[in-house]
Structure 1
Amino acid sequence: MMDDATKTINLLIETERLADKILQNKHEIVALDKRRQHTREAIREVEKSDEKKAWIAVGSMLIEMKKEKALELLQKDQNVINQEINKLRSDQKVLVGQHRDLEFADPLKGFDLNPLSRDEVGAFRTNLPGF
């Protein structure tokens, strides 16, 4: 009888651990998305500027640099943020699947769908009129 109670407690602990990790990832995604939006706004402002140099924040410092170099750094930051968000989203799918397994629930339908690539959309357009 004690063995079943121990298994149940371990199952609940593991379920809660996964749920906490899922929530933590969700908060990280939201924070990264805010950062991505701020970076996108900064890129837009630097592009619109007529100045040859731009002031950008690097950590807690403000640095003046050439407009082209500033745009390059901001674009790199944008790419890194996008990669981190995509990694967290793919990890999230795995964690949710594991959590549902622990709860003995059916897997979510459509949760693992991916958008069509440009080549796939192009193939649809050439083969299906009106697509």
Structure 2
Amino acid sequence: MLVTAALLGEHGALYAQFDHLERLAAEATIDDIRAYAGVLAAAVATHARLEDDLLFAALEPELGPAGPLLQMRREHDEIEAGLECLVHTADPAAGNALRDVIRLARAHFAKEEGVLFPMAAGLLAHTTLERLGAEWAVRRGVLLA
């Protein structure tokens, strides 16, 4: 499996969570928002680490540490910080803040899917993407056939 396909699949699973949490956010209590943010933060953080450790690290020799990779890493940090802030919030408008962080994550994923993943397919050898996909499976504890 290509690492880009694996990461795209994770986006799909996260989109389902985003959809569900956006529906719940309007009626959620502050305690609910804290719990939702904590669960989402754990999922997003592990996803971001895998992207950074596997795909971004492989692209860095081709692209350098600045440019699109720096932007992607900054967005990871911003999304994670937003969710972490919500884990500890007492703000009655926390539902709106959760929707804002989800909006940011959706925009970030769109950049990865529309620009970064196709760029990786053009810059990295197919065998490299497969090797990184195998490493993704090991780290996720997924058995690939």
TM range (shorter): 0.3 to 0.5
Bigger RCO (CA 8 Å, 6+ sep): 2
- The structure that has the greater radius of gyration is 1
Larger strand proportion of the pair: 1
Instruction: Give 1 or 2: higher helix fraction.
Output: 2
Give TM-score, length-normalised by structure 2. Answer: 0.36
Q: TM-score, normalised by structure 1?
A: 0.39
